[in-house]
Structure 1
Amino acid sequence: MNNVGTWVRSWGASPQSAHDGIGSLDDQAPLADVTLRQVVRISGGGHRVRIRFTNEFGTAPFTIGAAQVGLATPGGGVQPGSERVLTFSGASAVTVPAGAPILSDPVDLPLPALAKLSISLYLPGRVETCTCHDPALDTGWKIPGDTVAALTLPENAEVLPVRALISAVEVLSGAPAKAIVVVGDSRTDGAGSTPDTNHSWPELLAERLAGAGYVSNQGISGNRMLNDGIGTGVLARFDRDVLATPGLGYVVLSLGGNDIGISFAPRDDGPLADFLKMFPGAPVTVDDVIAGFRQLVARAHERGVKVYATTIAPFEGAEIYTPEGESARLAVNAWIRTGGAFDAVLDFDAVWHDPDRPSRIREDLHSGDHLHGNDAGYQALADSIDLSLFS
């Protein structure tokens, strides 16, 4: 058995409660007697692979009756000959305890960088609360019954609106390798990009690294650093989603925008007020955000990893914008650039802002909401990163 290299995370999606996302599962029946088939694109390659399944927000155990992994083909298929049965301590079925993740046994499967994997799992019983990542920007499916071994997608497949019950793909690399973990909000998650094209900026960074880097995207849409809301706040999830990453070498913090935007958002009785109810906790200050960054840097440096930060991109034109929020954004960005807390700074504000109106994103780089990037916007962020930071 060839065990050369190190285990390293090549793909990730931060777990969330089904009731703690943007609501994609609100009208869905509980999962029961179904097969889930989901496609993920890894960053760096390897010769062995294992899958991390998750019940971390589950209220009861659930059972995986069967699971397989293989190279994905378009339309939900699996490349013949690449399929591998997944086991758990040698058994083909496993019960995942409430609140816990579970790793599959490793299987031999040569994987080039940027390979697309198909991951299928059969759920014979009911999943009371689905731990997920919401939304999924890669199409997945649910199929009645046990169709784990099907090489083509059955005709009765329905689209699965979230990333369900899987949180990571880890590979055994052919040489020593370090993972780059990006933790952030919807701009990291890829909101506004074209689905099924892998156009979040962390995925585009992985393309630029061309197999020389392993990138795990731990962005959650609507996430904050200091408080929960949509997803657990970063200070609370940092150990699980970042510091526990196999092969961790670099952390990129792309945070603070939602903390500021929510805290300084207009307060009225309109639709925005209902949206703001999703974000508990008192408003935070510039000093609070800076203190949060300092905590994350200290915790990462304890592990001997480098910590980089992105500046906060502008958001004038979005519903949550206020001049007070803009002043806070500029103050935090000034500290990120000059405070000396980080091993390097990625100046995303400089890449995205309109030179004629620096409080706004350039018109050709946002998705229409003045808040999130489009494909070109995320490409511009990825292209601006100095790749030597990860060598």
Structure 2
Amino acid sequence: MLTRLDRDVLFVPGIRTVVVTQGLEDIVAGHDDVDIGSALGLLRDQLKGWGIKVIFTTLTPCDGYSACTAAVDQNRIDTNTWITDQTDFTSPTVSYVDAEEIVAVTDTASTADPQALKLGNDTAPADFDSGDHVNLTADGYNAISDAFDLASLGPDT
């Protein structure tokens, strides 16, 4: 994400806010919460330095995906703790949307204590699991986007 910052973000004229939804794929690929927190922190600092508001989304569950081991899920949970600790009301602000809370349900088949979370897979519009237990459906993304308080972001966000 840092290598694409110029092209994907700073190149956009008048950009005021960036939503960061990164990290789950990196954790599944073997990076830990410390790696992800360092990278997200660097991104946050660079965006704030350019006067851009930052909104993180928490990482959604991956229970049921073969590469999502207990250690991977713990890194996801620890990364979410890092994300929720980033709230900063100085301008430009840093905040988060709790995507996990929006699309996750308790996996009643889980033997973990506490029971693991998984993506909700009820019928539309609550069918958030695309089938691979990692990627969201359009309904999942819509549910998360509905959680954004666009009025609080100001005009032309």
Q: TM-score, normalised by structure 2?
A: 0.81
Distance 1:389 1:367 in 2: 31
Task: List structure 1 segments (4+ residues) > 4 angstroms apart after TM superposition.
Answer: none
- Secondary structure of residue in 1 paired with 2:4: helix
Cα offset for 1:390?
A: 2.5
TM-superposition CA deviations, 1:289-316 (whole Å, max 9, x none): 1110111011111111111100000011
- Secondary structure of residue in 2 paired with 1:299: helix
* 2:95 aligned with 1:348: no
What is the match of residue 10 of structure 2?
Answer: 243
Distance 1:378 1:306 in 2: 21
Distance 2:9 2:146 in 1: 24
Distance 1:306 1:291 in 2: 18
Q: Which has the higher contact order (CA 8 A, sep 6+)?
A: 2
Correspondence list, 1:56-95, <5 A:
none
Distance 2:143 2:87 in 1: 25
- Secondary structure of residue in 2 paired with 1:245: coil
Task: Say which structure is richer in helix.
Answer: 2
- Quick one: which of 103, 112, 119 aligns to 1:361? 119
Q: Which amino acid aligns with 2:96?
A: V
Task: Say which structure is richer in strand.
Answer: 1
**Cα distance change, pair 382–340 in 1 and its aligned pair in 2 (3 A):** closer
Correspondence list, 1:282-321, <5 A:
284-321=31-68
Q: Is the 8 A contact 2:58 2:99 kept in 1?
A: yes
Q: Is the 8 A contact 1:326 1:359 kept in 2?
A: no
TM-superposition CA deviations, 1:268-304 (whole Å, max 9, x none): xxxxxxxxxxxxxxxx321111110111011111111
Correspondence list, 1:1-391, <5 A:
234-263=1-30, 284-340=31-87, 343-356=94-107, 357-364=115-122, 365-391=128-154
- How many pairs are equivalent? 138
- Secondary structure of residue in 1 paired with 2:16: strand
Distance 1:339 1:244 in 2: 25
Distance 1:259 1:302 in 2: 25
Cα offset for 1:340?
A: 3.5
Q: Which amino acid aligns with 1:255?
A: Q
- Secondary structure of residue in 2 paired with 1:367: coil
Cα offset for 1:388?
A: 2.1
Distance 2:49 2:139 in 1: 36
Q: Is the 8 A contact 2:63 2:116 kept in 1?
A: no
Distance 2:10 2:119 in 1: 32
Q: Which amino acid aligns with 1:333?
A: N
Q: Which amino acid aligns with 2:38?
A: A
- Secondary structure of residue in 1 paired with 2:3: helix
Rg comparison, structure with higher value: 1
Distance 1:317 1:386 in 2: 31
Q: Is the 8 A contact 2:59 2:100 kept in 1?
A: yes
Distance 1:380 1:373 in 2: 10
Distance 2:38 2:95 in 1: 18
TM-superposition CA deviations, 1:15-45 (whole Å, max 9, x none): xxxxxxxxxxxxxxxxxxxxxxxxxxxxxxx
Cα offset for 1:376?
A: 2.0
TM-superposition CA deviations, 1:146-182 (whole Å, max 9, x none): xxxxxxxxxxxxxxxxxxxxxxxxxxxxxxxxxxxxx
Distance 2:32 2:20 in 1: 18
Q: What residue ranges of structure 1 are gaps of 5+ in the alignment?
A: 1-233, 264-283
Q: Is the 8 A contact 2:86 2:94 kept in 1?
A: no
Q: Which amino acid aligns with 1:310?
A: T
Q: TM-score, normalised by structure 1?
A: 0.34
Q: Which amino acid aligns with 1:369?
A: D
Cα offset for 1:386?
A: 1.5
What is the match of residue 110 of structure 2?
Answer: none
